[in-house]
Amino acid sequence: MNHNTPNTFYATNAFTGEPLPDAFPVHGEKEVAQAAEAAAKVARQFRRLDNHKRASLLCSIALELESHSGEIVTRAHLETALPDVRLNGEIGRTANQLRLFADVVRSGSYHQAIFDTPNPDRQPVPKPDIRRQQIAIGPVAVFGASNFPLAFSAAGGDTASALAAGCPVIVKGHTAHPGTSKIVAECVEKALQTEGLPSAIFTLLQGNRRELGQVLVTHPKIKGVGFTGSVGGGRALFNLAQQRPEPIPFYGELGAINPTFILPSAMKASESLAEQFVTSMTMGCGQFCTKPGVVFALNTPETQAFIETAQTLIRKQIPATLLTQGIKQNYQSEVEKRSSDAGINVTFSDAQSPNVASALFVTDSKNWRENSSLEEEIFGPQSLVVVCDDFEDMLTLSENLAGSLTATIHATTQDSALVEQLIPCLEEIAGRLVFNGWPTGVEVGYAMVHGGPYPASTHVASTSVGAEAIHRWLRPVAYQSLPEALLPDALKTSNPLGIQRSIDGKVL
């Protein structure tokens, strides 16, 4: 029975499909306008806030999340069917990335202070004093993700990096876990109170209608968007962001098949590759954005043994409970469609309703070339093995792949000459190259790139994970010939912030 009304909606128990207690408001144009206007009013104050105060806010949010972890995990488990151990790990990841951005803010490195010193005697014209730094772009909208109710949702990576940059945030909570988002939002609100900062720096909006996201993206006070979700939904919002009278940056993570290439010597050398592969593809019920969605291997006896082992392991998989009924229905539909391909061999695990079966598809390179739909991501516990005639066949396929978050190579030193040919191809289609590992698991650090060419990301030069994510919400401003007293602290000659700067091309 549908308990939703025009003004309220209910969360769904991911295990039973039944509505959970407590209604949530359906926000719309009025609430977007209120939140965006309020955010705009505090945006200038927030971006000029002392670095240590902004870092303190991020750490306060982390503490609040940790202190309410029991309540968060209990609710998130009901709404997503994710196990407690996974959710506790996600709270740890969320708190850690908040603290990472606190470190980034304290260091002042995000200012990227650059100086061109003046030379009044230069001919034919004097050289002016020009100094440059990065400043926050203003209020941003963040869309919660279905598959990470904490790390990529209300207080997740997009929110953390935007707050670190000095941007007020308006979160559009995901309908898959509104109760979890509400508790997390209350943690952020408590942190703002603790730090004595305006509540308008963070707002959670909820609703089960597509219009909420559309209105949020097109509101003139919103200056940037962070999105993790489907290609269709993300592309529609991206188009709206670009069609505004003032187009704004839209950082969307939309979809990826994350190809894996297993070279001959590696296939011979490891007896556990098939087990590692199945573990990675079914992790989190195959709902990780970095799941290895396709494996390319050569037509050898070792590859056939790899496939047979993987098929055996697939048959033993426990039936999966997916995050939402919509994801389940889409998964079943896409798996059924792919299974009907005459050039596909498919192996299923057992499944009892309301759960779904894991699936392993096997095909050859000829069928891959003839069926472009095989390169489309299927969100859930499935993957595809493509058997190539030889390495040249594999290399040609690698040169024609769409953008992905990751690309993985399994090889030994005996495969070095082949790896050297593969790497330039994979650099062009992926944001992260993995060697002799599996792509599931994204380290939150300084060097991480979680992005890539479209459709992995709508902005190829950015990352949504790691310290560099802060730069999505910043823009450069140059100050020419300003008196010392009027310069921002990051650009004053006395360097009151004690930060690293670049002066005439030399880092000091």
Is 253 part of the annotated catalytic residue set?
yes
Same domain, 209 and 293: no
The predicted-structure confidence for 407-421, as pLDDT tens digits, reads as follows: 999 999 999 999 999
Residues with Cβ within 8 Å of 255's Cβ and at least 6 positions away in sequence, in order, are 230, 231, 376, 377, 455, 456
Same domain, 117 and 182: yes
Q: Which amino acid is at 266?
A: A
Residue 223 DSSP SS3? coil
Same domain, 209 and 138: yes
Above 90 in pLDDT, residue 5?
no
The predicted-structure confidence for 160-216, as pLDDT tens digits, reads as follows: 999 999 999 999 999 999 999 999 999 999 999 999 999 999 999 999 999 999 999
| Cα-to-chain-centroid distance, residue 498 | 32
- pLDDT score of 179: 97
Query: Is residue 112 exposed (0-12), middle (13-18) or buried (19+ Cβ within 10 Å)?
Result: middle
Same domain, 247 and 291: no
Name the pLDDT band for 300 (thresholds 50, 70, 90).
very high
Above 80 in pLDDT, residue 53?
yes
- The rounded distance, in Å, linking the Cα atoms of 308 and 313 is 9
Same domain, 94 and 241: yes
- The rounded distance, in Å, linking the Cα atoms of 392 and 405 is 24
Catalytic choice (289, 302, 377, 468)? 289
Q: How many domains are contained in the chain? A: 2
Same domain, 244 and 105: yes
Above 60 in pLDDT, residue 1?
no
Q: Which amino acid is at 289?
A: C
- The rounded distance, in Å, linking the Cα atoms of 264 and 401 is 21
- pLDDT score of 2: 61
Same domain, 213 and 336: no
Q: Which amino acid is at 195?
A: E
Indicate whether 426 belongs to any domain.
Answer: yes
Above 80 in pLDDT, residue 361?
yes
Same domain, 216 and 290: no
Q: Which domain, by its residues, includes 192?
A: 28-254+460-473
Same domain, 199 and 237: yes
> Which candidate, 161, 174, 261, 264, places its Cα nearest to that of 474?
161
Is 425 part of the annotated catalytic residue set?
no
Catalytic choice (64, 253, 377, 468)? 253
Same domain, 180 and 308: no
Same domain, 468 and 345: no
DSSP 414-461: GGHHHHHHHHHHHHTTEEEEEESS-S-S---SSS-----STTS-S-TT
The predicted-structure confidence for 179-192, as pLDDT tens digits, reads as follows: 999 999 999 999 99
CATH of the domain at 283: 3.40.309.10
Residue where a domain terminates, one of 388, 419, 435:
435
Indicate whether 487 belongs to any domain.
Answer: no
Indicate whether 501 belongs to any domain.
Answer: no
- pLDDT score of 349: 93
The predicted-structure confidence for 379-395, as pLDDT tens digits, reads as follows: 999 999 999 999 999 99
> Which candidate, 203, 205, 183, 182, places its Cα nearest to that of 192?
203
Average pLDDT along the chain: 96
Indicate whether 4 belongs to any domain.
Answer: no
The predicted-structure confidence for 309-326, as pLDDT tens digits, reads as follows: 999 999 999 888 899 989
Q: Count other C-beta atoms under 10 Å from residue 183's C-beta.
A: 18
Name the pLDDT band for 351 (thresholds 50, 70, 90).
confident
Indicate whether 489 belongs to any domain.
Answer: no
Indicate whether 313 belongs to any domain.
Answer: yes
Indicate whether 94 belongs to any domain.
Answer: yes
- pLDDT score of 353: 64
Indicate whether 249 belongs to any domain.
Answer: yes
CA distances 22 to 111, 181, 400, Å, are: 44, 13, 49
- The rounded distance, in Å, linking the Cα atoms of 485 and 493 is 10
Q: What percent of the chain has pLDDT over 90?
A: 94
CATH of the domain at 122: 3.40.605.10
Same domain, 229 and 330: no
